[in-house]
Amino acid sequence: MKKHLVLVGGGHAHMVTLENIKEFVKKGYNVTVIGPSIYHYYSGMGPGMLGKTYLPEQIRFATRDVVESQGGRFVKDRVTHIDPETRNVFTLSGNTVSYDVVSCNAGSHVPMTGVGTVEEEKPDNVYPVKPIEKLMEASEKLQALFAESQARVSVVGGGPSSAEVAGNVWQLAKKTGTHMPEIRIFCANRFMGRFSDKIRDRVKAVLEKRKIRILENARVQKVTRTYITLDSKKQYDTDFTFMAAGVTPSEIFEKSNLPVGPDKGLLVNKYLQSVADPKIFGGGDCIYFQDQPLDKVGVYAVRQNPVLLHNLMAALEGGELMPFDPGSDYLLVFNLGGGKGVLKKKNIVFNGRLAFTIKHYIDTKFMKKFQAIEKAG
C-alpha cells in the first residue's frame, strides 16, 4: 500500500512542499492537502487589500489547483484533531484521513474574547483581522458605511496589526468614502510596546498626523454592535470594530493531546517535528519551536519551507533529517496606508514612501513567484 503524506493547511511554511507535490507522487506516495479554503491569502498583504492597494487575486495562491494539477488530492475542510496512535486526521465535516506522515501549517486565529452579549452573540460589524479573506468583506462594508455618514471605527489591540489596519482604514476612506471616519485604537497596555521607541514613535507619528486616536492602558472588556466597554467601565460608541489583540495557534494540538508550548502551539524540535511523535511535523504560526521562541512573522515560515520539504520526504523514505536554523535578524516593514510605511532592519529604522515601496516590491515578488506554480503545475 502506498505511503500517505497529509498536509494540514496550505500556508507559507508549506509553499515549497506544495510546489513539489509532483516529486512525492513520482516516488509513489499519495498526497492529500486539507484546508478551509481553495485559496491561501498572504497575510503580509492583507491590510493592503483592506485599503484597496491590492485586489484579492493579487494576494492569494490557488492551493486546490496547485495540488490537483500535480496529482495530489485537495479536501476543503477544517481539521479538528489528530490521533497519533491510529495515525488519523479528523475534520469538522466528519472526514477521517489516515496518514503515514503529517505536517501542520494550520495558522493562527484572533481570540474574540468579550465579543457580543447573550442577546447579540455575533455582531455583523465586528471582524477579526484573521482569516485574511474576511478583510475583503470588511472593506466592502466600510465603503458603504463611509458613503452614508461619519463612522466610528474601532481597532482592539496595540500591536503592528492594529497599526496597519487603522492606517489602511484611513486609506480606504480617503480613496472611496465621502466622510472620513473617526478611528480609535484601544491598547491594553503601551502601543507597540514590544518594539523600540525608534519604531514606536514613527508609527505613532504617521497615525496621529491622520487624527487616528491611540488610547493606551485601555483594556477592552466587552465589544457589542454599538459600543466598546473598557475594564475601567468607560464606554465608547462604535459603528465598526476590528479585533487585533494578538493571535493564538490552532486548537488542533491541545485537542489531540500532543505536547504544546506556552502559546498552545505544537511543540516541535530542531527538525520541526513533534517532540512526542516523529511522524508529525509543523511550521508557521501553529508551532512552538522548542529551541527558542519565534515571533509570529511570515519570515520564519518562509525559512522553514526547505526544511519541511526535505524532512517530510526523509520521514517517508527513512532518510536523515535536516535541522531548522531560524537565521539572523529579519527585515520588518509595516504598511500604514497612504503609500507610507515604517522599516526596521537591525539598527536601521526609517519611515515614509520608500519604506512602503520596499515592502511592496518584496511582497509582490514573493506572490508572483508562488503564483507561477499555478501555471507550471
pLDDT tens profile 4-15: 999 999 888 999
CATH number, position 199: 3.50.50.60
pLDDT at 341 over 60: yes
Do 288 and 352 sit in the same domain of this protein?
A: no
| Rounded distance between C-alpha atoms, residue 121 and residue 254, angstroms | 25
Assign residue 142 a region: left if phi > 0, alpha if psi is -120 to 50, beta otherwise? Answer: alpha
- Going by pLDDT thresholds of 50, 70 and 90, the confidence category of residue 112 is confident
Instruction: Please check whether residue 366 lies inside any domain of the structure.
Output: no
The tens digit of pLDDT for each residue in 168-189 reads 999 999 998 789 999 999 999 9
Cα 301 from chain centroid (whole Å): 11
β-strand pairing of 4-8 with 101-104: parallel
Do 235 and 259 sit in the same domain of this protein?
A: no
Instruction: Please check whether residue 19 lies inside any domain of the structure.
Output: yes
Angle ∠(269,275,278) on CA atoms, nearest 5: 100
Instruction: Please check whether residue 276 lies inside any domain of the structure.
Output: yes
| Rounded distance between C-alpha atoms, residue 86 and residue 174, angstroms | 55
**Nearest CA among 126, 92, 121 for reference residue 106:** 92
| Rounded distance between C-alpha atoms, residue 340 and residue 207, angstroms | 10
Do 240 and 252 sit in the same domain of this protein?
A: no
Q: Report CA torsion sign: 301, 366, 101, 321.
A: negative
Q: Are 320 and 300 in contact (CB under 8 A)?
A: no
The tens digit of pLDDT for each residue in 198-222 reads 999 999 999 999 999 999 999 999 9
Do 99 and 162 sit in the same domain of this protein?
A: no
Across 127-143, average pLDDT: 93
β-strand pairing of 4-8 with 30-35: parallel
Identify the domain boundary among 284, 306, 327.
327
Query: What is the residue range of 289's domain?
Result: 4-36+77-110+248-327
> What values do phi and psi take at 364, rounded to 5?
-70, -35
Share of the chain above pLDDT 70, in %: 97
Instruction: Please check whether residue 66 lies inside any domain of the structure.
Output: no
Classified as helix, coil or strand, 257 is coil
- Going by pLDDT thresholds of 50, 70 and 90, the confidence category of residue 372 is confident
Which helix (H) or strand (E) element contains residue 152?
A: strand 152-156
pLDDT at 120 over 60: no
Across 132-158, average pLDDT: 94
Do 166 and 229 sit in the same domain of this protein?
A: yes
Name the grid cell of 95.
472526514
pLDDT at 121 over 70: no
Across 325-345, average pLDDT: 94
Q: What is the pLDDT of residue 376?
A: 61
* Residue pointed to by grid coordinates 509595516: 334
Classified as helix, coil or strand, 26 is helix
Do 219 and 346 sit in the same domain of this protein?
A: yes
| Rounded distance between C-alpha atoms, residue 360 and residue 328, angstroms | 22
Do 354 and 235 sit in the same domain of this protein?
A: yes
* Residue pointed to by grid coordinates 511592496: 360
Average model confidence (pLDDT) across the chain:
93
Name, in order, each residue with C-beta under 8 angstroms of 320's C-beta and a sequence gap of 6 or more: 314
Do 163 and 275 sit in the same domain of this protein?
A: no
Instruction: Please check whether residue 302 lies inside any domain of the structure.
Output: yes
Do 350 and 209 sit in the same domain of this protein?
A: yes
Do 182 and 231 sit in the same domain of this protein?
A: yes
Q: What is the pLDDT of residue 205?
A: 96
pLDDT at 352 over 70: yes
Classified as helix, coil or strand, 326 is coil
Q: What is the pLDDT of residue 11?
A: 86
Q: What is the pLDDT of residue 119?
A: 47
Do 153 and 203 sit in the same domain of this protein?
A: yes
Give the total number of structural domains in the chain.
2
